[in-house]
């Protein structure tokens, strides 16, 4: 992922990973690994709720599509780690592109744990947003066309 993160930075984007882990759990994880992007702990799931990310049932988690996805990862060397206290494997994630004005320009809410857009697709969306920026009023407070 670091090469893709470098590519995102090079075109003017930034990666922010939001996790529902508690800050102390996240801190311990980040001390053991190096990542080229920033992390934000959201244990109350405020951002998850604002972005419309749902929590799935156990039955949906064990659906054949996600299970085949995880099996393919394991066969390629991915190591399954135990779920830590406070983590929730049933909480779905998403991928979003927010522009310089704070306007959501691309949203992908996952339907199951294996449902993610490719990094290539995200980079293309970032390029599109950078090429077509949201117009901002001179005072810089609100984008043109907003009702607030």
| Burial profile 40-59: b = 16 or more Cβ within 10 angstroms, e = fewer | ebbbeeebbeebebeebeee
Provide the pLDDT for residue 136: 54
Give me the residues paired with residue 96 across strands.
Answer: 107
Find which of 3-12, 41-50, 73-82, 100-109 is predicted with most confidence, using mean pLDDT.
41-50
Residue pair 97/105 in contact by the 8 Å Cβ criterion: yes
Provide the pLDDT for residue 107: 92
- Rounded Cα distance between 94 and 116, Å, is 7
Q: Is the pLDDT of residue 46 over 90?
A: yes
Residue pair 119/1 in contact by the 8 Å Cβ criterion: yes
**Residues 102-148 pLDDT 10s:** 888 999 999 998 899 999 999 999 999 999 887 654 444 444 344 44
Look at the domain 2-130 and name its fold.
Glutaredoxin (3.40.30)
Provide the pLDDT for residue 1: 58
pTM: 0.76
Q: What are phi and psi of 45, to 5 degrees?
A: 65, 30
Residue 94 host element (H or E): strand 94-98
Residues 6+ positions from 92 with CB-CB distance below 8 Å: 53, 54, 55, 56, 109, 110, 111, 112, 113, 115
What tokens were used for 118? 């490719």
Provide the pLDDT for residue 144: 36
Q: Where are the domains of the chain?
A: 2-130
């Amino acid at each position: 992922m670091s090469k893709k993160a470098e590519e995102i930075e090079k075109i003017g984007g930034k990666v922010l990973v939001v996790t529902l882990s508690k800050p102390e759990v996240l801190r311990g994880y980040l001390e053991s690994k190096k990542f080229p992007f920033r992390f934000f702990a959201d244990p109350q799931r405020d951002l998850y709720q604002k972005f419309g990310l749902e929590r799935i049932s156990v039955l949906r988690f064990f659906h054949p599509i996600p299970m085949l996805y995880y099996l393919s990862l394991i066969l390629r060397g991915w190591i399954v780690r135990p779920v830590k206290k406070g983590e929730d494997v049933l909480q779905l994630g998403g991928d979003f592109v927010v522009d310089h004005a704070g306007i959501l320009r691309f949203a992908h809410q996952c339907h199951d744990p294996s449902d993610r857009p490719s990094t290539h697709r995200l980079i293309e969306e970032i390029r599109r947003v950078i090429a077509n920026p949201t117009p901002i009023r001179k005072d810089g407070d609100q984008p043109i066309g907003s009702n607030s």
